[in-house]
Amino acid sequence: MAFDPGLAAVDFTILRSQAREEELHYLDNAAMALIPDCVINAMVEHDTLRRSNVKRGSHRLAEEATEAFEKARAAVADYLGVSDPDEVVFTGGATAGINILAHSLGLMFERNDEVLISQLEHHSNIIPWQVIQQRQGIKVRYLPVTPDGRINLERAEDMIKSRTRIVSVTHGSNVTGAITDARTLSGLVHDRGAFLILDGAQTAPGGPMDLPALGADFYVFSGHKVYGPTGVGILWGRKEILKNMPPALGGGEMIQDVGLEKSTFLDPPHRFEAGTPPVTQAIGLAAAVKWLAAKDVKGMRGHLRRLTLRIMEGLTQLSGGIKILGPETGMERIPLVSFCVEGLHPHDICQVMNDRHGVALRGGFHCAQPLHDFLKIDGTTRASLAIYNNDNDVDALLNGMEDCMKILG
Amino acid sequence: MSNDLYHEQIIERAKRSDNNIRLENPDCSATVSNPLCGDRITVELKMEGDVIKAISGPVKGCVLCKASASILAEIAVGMKCDELKSMASDLGQALKSQADNNESFPKAYRMFYPVKKHKSRHSCVMLPLEGALKAISECKGHSGDK
Ligand SMILES: Cc1ncc(COP(=O)(O)O)c(C=O)c1O
């Protein structure tokens, strides 16, 4: 039976027509997905009935909250397909996860060590490494991008050197939609004794996964892109590596014994969760991934592939010179399409699409300026899909773009 | 008066803006950009004492930015630095004001009234003026604040 996105859409108050006065075609999911009611309810229920700080108290509420928090960790581990929940660290989001890694692993670097990232990265996987570069005299190098917006893995073999300690790349590009072949890359990385970090911000929403099979050592993502709340994210790491890493942040909840000169730290994951963690949000994130896992995920993937293809083909057919970024139709990509229209500015397109067609898009650099510089484009317009999007949304996008090109062209 | 952000007047204005004329030997110039959307504009000025004699420069921006630059290119010639400064300040205030009419807008900029309710786009309209003010401030001997 064909996948019915309506069965997901009914779970969102914001998408039920009576909740809004205007039409809404929400195609900005790569920036933030909408949140289903059950996730909001799980957080309300937690704060209503079990609110307390975790790991600190022995009273009943503290114990219940701690148990709920650790259950949330286990639910995320389940979603990722990892057997040990202690490999799952709650963070503030993908950006926080990469920063924790950069600062912790950075303490283990020596001068002239190298970190290899790529030109395809989101700023959140560039700036933390540049900070470490400045502070510690390491070198950040960039894997090039192919003309069709993929990381050029053919160059990886000669760019990963004996001084390369970390390779940190996007698993799925928020601009070109390209998916990185993690398994091939991890082989090359491990041959040279380096670690592989995957930025999973755009691949985590694809449904339950078998993370260990990707061969990476670390994986980060944000709650708000997987139908969860803001302010929470995940850093997953292999336990044998996490165990030997120094903390990036210090504070309560991560210490074993505190002295005036020296302190000792808890084992992972707590070593990397300094201070009060985002308890309520962690509970929301767990509810979100459970909600998604209970859907027909295989059907969703096929449905989103089909809609993505419709967008790519539909845009190509519009006259006026639309250039689509990323892998050609037929190649695997995450469900988003970024494009440039000759002579039109992305912000003008987004405004007209919103004002006249109720289509929510995103325009600009998408926090990936080096990629836009490399491709020599001044910004792109992006449509990104999620489980509730349907053919009407695609029709609104394509009809709207036709109108938009008439008005602005 | 249209409430549609992209009404004909603005679009026509933007189309009329000539992006690439450069001044020969400008007295001063400045480049300003909006990191959010990548708009970038360079303003070149020729001055005679305190008076703007010629203005031009490349504009890479959205329709609002281009239309605003086109208006500026037309009205800035003959203006004193202080006049430009106070016009920019009036426009900034008008965009932020609560008034439900366009009367507080400098005359030449009244077409931007519908931008008022789109806060994220105010900077698109202001960018050319900011560029001109920055150019003036970098213009030796013609500092806007005498
Ligand atoms: C590929 C990619 N990496 C990292 C991030 C950063 O996520 P956050 O801002 O939630 O930390 C994003 C968000 O847009 C992203 O798309």
Best mutation target among A28, A123, A175, A348 (most B Cβ atoms within 10 Å) is A348
Positive or negative CA dihedral for A32, A37, A42, A47? Answer: positive
Same domain as A352, residue A245 = no
pLDDT at B144: 43
- What's the CA gap between B52 and B45, in Å, rounded? 7
* Number of neighbours of residue B20 by Cβ within 10 angstroms: 8
Which amino acid would we find at residue A309? L
Q: Is A180 in the pocket of ligand 1 (CB under 6 A)?
A: no
Same domain as A49, residue A158 = yes
A15-32 confidence digits (pLDDT tens): 986 566 778 999 999 999
Is the pLDDT at B1 greater than 70? The verdict is no
Q: Is A340 one of the annotated active-site residues of the chain?
A: no
Q: Which residue has the tokens 């609104």?
A: A396
Closest residue by Cα to residue A231 from A90, A329, A331: A90
* Number of neighbours of residue B22 by Cβ within 10 angstroms: 11
Same domain as A316, residue A176 = no
B80: DSSP letter = B
- What's the CA gap between A105 and A108, in Å, rounded? 5
Domain that residue A108 falls in: 40-293
Pick the last residue of a domain from A277, A293, A309. Answer: A293
Question: Do the beta carbons of residue A364 and residue A346 sit within 8 Å?
Answer: yes
Take residue A374 and report the two structure tokens written for it.
Answer: 């490399």
Whether residue A35 is contained in a domain is answered as no
Residue A354: closest C-alpha in chain B: B5
- Secondary structure element (H or E) that encloses residue A37, with its range: helix A37-49
- How many domains does the structure of chain A reveal? 2
Same domain as A316, residue A289 = no
Take residue B115 and report the two structure tokens written for it.
Answer: 């931008």
Same domain as A289, residue A304 = no
Same domain as A335, residue A252 = no
pLDDT at B145: 45
Pick the last residue of a domain from A247, A265, A293. Answer: A293
Same domain as A157, residue A123 = yes
- What's the CA gap between A39 and A229, in Å, rounded? 8
pLDDT band of B136, cuts 50, 70, 90: very high
pLDDT at B92: 96
pLDDT at A244: 96
Q: Is A94 in the pocket of ligand 1 (CB under 6 A)?
A: yes
CATH number at residue A249: 3.40.640.10
User: What are the angstrom distances between the C-alpha of A323 and each of A228, A339, A377?
Assistant: 33, 5, 11
User: Helix, strand, coil: what percent of chain B each, to 5?
Assistant: 45, 20, 35
Name the minimum distance, in Å, from the CA of B48 to any CA of chain A.
Answer: 35
- What's the CA gap between B67 and B71, in Å, rounded? 6
Residue B63: closest C-alpha in chain A: A348
Q: Dihedral (C-alpha) A96, A102, A107, A108: value to the nearest 10 degrees?
A: 130
Same domain as A52, residue A164 = yes
Same domain as A395, residue A266 = no
Is the pLDDT at B17 greater than 80? The verdict is no
Q: Name the 3-class secondary structure at A248.
A: coil
User: What are the angstrom distances between the C-alpha of B54 and each of B40, B43, B51, B72?
Assistant: 20, 10, 9, 11
Is the pLDDT at B20 greater than 70? The verdict is no
Residues of A with CB under 8 A from a CB of B: 345-348, 351-352, 355, 363-365, 369, 372, 378-379, 407-408
Q: What is the mean pLDDT of residues B67-90?
A: 95
Q: Which are the contacts of A114, defined by CB distance < 8 A and separation ≥ 6?
A: A138, A139, A140, A141, A161, A163, A164, A165
Whether residue A56 is contained in a domain is answered as yes
Pocket mutation for ligand 1, best pick of A120, A122, A170, A336 (most atoms within 8 Å of C-beta): A122
Name the minimum distance, in Å, from the CA of A308 to any CA of chain B.
Answer: 25
Same domain as A167, residue A76 = yes
pLDDT at A261: 87
For residues B111-142, b (16+ Cβ closer than 10 Å) or e, as one string? bbbbbbebeebbbbbbbbbbbbbbbbeebeeb
Q: For ligand 1, what atom is nearest to the CA of residue A173?
A: 1
B25-68 confidence digits (pLDDT tens): 899 999 998 877 778 899 999 999 999 999 998 898 899 999 99
Say if residue A332 is exposed, middle or buried (CB neighbours under 10 Å; 0-12, 13-18, 19+).
Answer: exposed
Residues of chain B with C-beta less than 8 angstroms from the C-beta of A363: 37
Do the strands A359-360 and A362-364 form a parallel or antiparallel pair, or are they unpaired? Answer: unpaired
CATH number at residue A358: 3.90.1150.10
Pick the last residue of a domain from A293, A313, A342. Answer: A293
- Secondary structure element (H or E) that encloses residue B82, with its range: helix B81-96
Give DSSP secondary structure letters for A40-67: HHHHHHHHHHS---SSS--SHHHHHHHH
- What's the CA gap between A354 and A145, in Å, rounded? 32
Which amino acid would we find at residue B22? R
Residue nearest to atom 16 of ligand 1 (CA): A174
Q: Name the 3-class secondary structure at A374.
A: helix
Residue nearest to atom 15 of ligand 1 (CA): A201
For residues B88-110, b (16+ Cβ closer than 10 Å) or e, as one string? beebbebbeeeeeebebbbeebe
> What is this model's ipTM?
0.79
Same domain as A114, residue A256 = yes
User: Which residues of chain A register pLDDT less than 50?
Assistant: none
Residues of chain B with C-beta less than 8 angstroms from the C-beta of A350: none
- What's the CA gap between A295 and A189, in Å, rounded? 35
Same domain as A259, residue A240 = yes
Q: Which are the contacts of A137, defined by CB distance < 8 A and separation ≥ 6?
A: A111, A112
Widest Cα–Cα separation across chain A: 70
Pocket mutation for ligand 1, best pick of A222, A232, A369, A371 (most atoms within 8 Å of C-beta): A222
> Domain B8-137 adopts which CATH fold?
Sufe protein. Chain: A (3.90.1010)
